Amino acid sequence: MPRTKEQYEEMRNATRDKIRSAAMQLFVHQGYGSTSVQDIADTAGISIGLLYRHYRTKDQLLNELVGYAVEGLKRNIRSFESDQSPKQLIARFIDEVYTDLSNGEELANLLILINQALFASAGTDSQLHEEILQVNARLLDATAQLIRKGQQLGEFRLGDAKEMAVYFYASIQGLAEMKILLKSNFQMPSPSVMTAFLFKVGE
């Protein structure tokens, strides 16, 4: 008799992992359109045929990867809707971003992937494109809300909260890209630099 269900599932999971990380790496580092399926299979160390047993199209593969990234964003929205002090929430978030961007490429990859997916699906009105934009809008709103609360508490600098939220995420996105593009020449700004435009006091 052949292998058990569990053994087969384990095998399948292992190759799916290989495919996902190869695709992530390539999509992020050279762009979706410039990455061929052959590329992905080679990087994953498997055959094209096997890749297609797991993902019906190149597009579906991108969609799955982006799906995970979008989940991450949603978790963030939830955490920002907490009742804790805005300053603490933002400070904790920035600390996480700082350590993630300092140590590994995972967060940078997620952020860039979402970006790539948005550009790649620009003309088409795919479900995914719309969903990303929508989640993004909600994230910006939740953050602006948090900033407003912080301003009322006197912890945050004054200024248009929505604009500050836009600037907040724009800078994180920019940092992610710089990290990947500049490689070892990238020097991650410390949390105090990143929050200086938000928090009062400082020095």
Partner DNA sequence: TTTTATAATGAGTAAAAACTCACTCAAAAA
Partner DNA sequence: TTTTTGAGTGAGTTTTTACTCATTATAAAA
Q: Please check whether residue 81 is in contact with residue 71, taking contact to mean a CB–CB distance below 8 angstroms.
A: no
> Which of the ranges 42-50, 52-60, 87-95, 110-118 carries the binding residues for its own copies, by CB under 8 A?
110-118
Angle between the N-to-C axes of helices 161-182 and 127-152, in degrees from 0 to 180, rounded to the nearest 10: 120
Percentages helix, strand, coil for the chain (3-state, rounded to 5) are 75, 0, 25
Residue from 10, 33, 130, 131 in contact with its own copies (CB under 8 A): 33
Identify the CA nearest to 27 among candidates 72, 75, 63, 78.
63
Task: Note the residues at the interface with DNA (CB under 7 A).
Answer: 1-4, 7-8, 11-12, 14-15, 35-38, 46-50, 52-53, 56-59
Whose Cβ is closer to DNA: residue 36's or residue 99's?
A: 36
Each residue 178-197 as x (binds its own copies by CB under 8 A) or -, in order, gives x--xx--xxxxxx-xxx-xx
Whose Cβ is closer to DNA: residue 113's or residue 146's?
A: 113
Binding to its own copies, residues 121-180 (CB under 8 A): 122-123, 133, 136-137, 157-160, 162-164, 166-167, 169-175, 177-178
Q: Which one of DNA, its own copies, none interacts with residue 29, CB within 5 to 8 A by kind?
A: its own copies
Long-range contacts of the stretch 148-153 (C-beta < 8 A, 24+)? 149/86, 150/85, 150/86, 150/87, 150/90, 150/198, 153/85, 153/86, 153/87
Size of the chain, expressed as the number of residues it contains: 203
Nearest distance, CB of residue 99 and DNA, angstroms: 34
Q: Please check whether residue 75 is in contact with residue 135, taking contact to mean a CB–CB distance below 8 angstroms.
A: no
Q: Which one of its own copies, DNA, none interacts with residue 173, CB within 5 to 8 A by kind?
A: its own copies
The phi, psi pair for 53, rounded to 5°, reads -75, -20
Identify the CA nearest to 90 among candidates 14, 42, 142.
142
Residues that bind its own copies (CB under 8 A): 29-35, 115-116, 118-120, 122-123, 133, 136-137, 157-160, 162-164, 166-167, 169-175, 177-178, 181-182, 185-190, 192-194, 196-198, 202-203
